[in-house]
Amino acid sequence: MSKHADASEGVGRTILTANDGPDTPEEISRRTFMATATMTVSGIIGLVLAVPIVGSLIPSGSSGGGSWSPLTADELKSLQTATAKPVKLSFTLKYTDGYLPTQQADEYVWGIKVDQAKFEAARPDIYATPGGNVGYPAVNLGFVIFSPICPHLGCRFDWNTGQNKFLCPCHGSQYNFDGAHLAGPAPRGLDPLPFREQSGVAQVTWIEYKTTVPQRIIISYQA
């Protein structure tokens, strides 16, 4: 036989390896078991990771209440002697962040002395249901405590004595003494916070409300 015939016989010849043979039932069963086991382990790991992540997304206020932070005696006195100007009240906010130990930070709120009937007439948005009612007395002991967070995008507003208004420096939202929305992009008036006096100590509860919406939706309470 010529060398030309030998070459033609080699055309198309395939060299097989051990992995190219037909699958046996045992091999198929083994691969199926390994694939199932891998998916099961991955699912367990995903579930373990998902539990704390989902838990951190649930508002801490969803259980229905926050704790109280005391104001100093001087802060209470300044609130009691207030007239036609808001009073900036400082306190220490204690909070938790995930699995970290309880932490604290210096915070402040705005307090005003009001006539309850006049305030309720000036701020019907607080008492509107659904969407406005906060679920606790906005006026207590003749005072209203406002969160310092602008309901527009969460900036901190300030009191402008010259204009007799609360002004937000970020986007120009304006509020009168009673916290009613006057101008700017804010979707609602200022948010009142719970206030009480216990054994001569004034206390407030910090609540974070959702911004950019007209409804008062609680995001979280003070831990």
Token representation of residue 209: 């409300």
Q: Is 75 helix (H, G, I), strand (E, B) or coil?
A: helix
pLDDT mean values, one per 10 residues, the chain (223 residues): 48 51 59 63 50 38 64 86 90 67 80 95 91 91 96 97 96 97 97 92 92 93 66
Beta bridge pairs of residue 174: 167, 183
- 3-state SS, residue 43: helix
Superfamily of domain 63-221: Rieske [2Fe-2S] iron-sulphur domain (2.102.10.10)
Q: Check residue 103 and give left, alpha or beta (phi > 0: left; psi -120 to 50: alpha).
A: beta
Predicted confidence at residue 199, as pLDDT, reads 86
Element (H, E) at 96: none
From CA 168, how far away is CA 156, in angstroms rounded?
7
Q: Is 17 helix (H, G, I), strand (E, B) or coil?
A: coil
pLDDT at site 95: 62
Residue identified by tokens 């916290």 is 179
**CA separation for the pair 204, 67 (Å, rounded):** 8
Number of helical H runs and strand E runs in the chain: 5, 13
158-195 residue pLDDT tens:
999 999 999 999 999 999 999 999 999 999 999 999 99
Tell me what pLDDT residue 166 has.
98
Write down the pLDDT at residue 200.
Answer: 83
Residue 216: its pLDDT value, please? 94
User: What are phi and psi for residue 8, nearest 5 degrees?
Assistant: -70, -30
Query: Residue 202 in contact with residue 75, Cβ under 8 Å?
Result: yes
For residue 198, the Cα-to-chain-centroid distance in whole angstroms is 29
pLDDT of residue 55: 37
Structure tokens at 19: 């992995």
- 168 in Cβ contact with 157 (< 8 Å): yes
Q: Give the global pTM.
A: 0.69
Instruction: Quote the tokens at residue 32.
Output: 């199926």
